[in-house]
Amino acid sequence: KFVMFFLGTVGFYSSSLRDEKKSMFSVAESAIQSALELGITHIDTANIYGNGESETVIGRIFKKDQSLRNKIFLQTKCGIKFSKTDNKIYYDTSKNHIVSQVEASLKK
């Protein structure tokens, strides 16, 4: 099945709402419900969105409403890292990095 639209979650983290974490949860939860009402069943996220906070917010929403697991296809991405010394982005597509990031994403 070809999917035309995904719900992007790059903004699902607190600094996009000036550290109002409770509000971000509500905004993200409403966005997911609205997407479902529009027939959008695919969510796209990444481990670097909000330094991982986007995945955490989505994980909390899925834990609150476990029926979403049967309604939504969730995809995440990995392979990008931020340098701790100069805050630049670099790529790490090594097996170890990918496995560790997948495991971290699944825990959220």
Give the CA dihedral 94, 100, 103, 104, nearest 10 degrees: -120
- Under DSSP, the state recorded for 25 is H
Other CB atoms within a 10 A radius of the CB of residue 17 amount to 15
Which member of 13, 49, 90, 91 is catalytic? 49
Is 91 annotated in the active site? no
- Do strands 7-8 and 73-75 pair parallel, antiparallel, or not at all (unpaired)? unpaired
Q: Which residues are catalytic?
A: 49
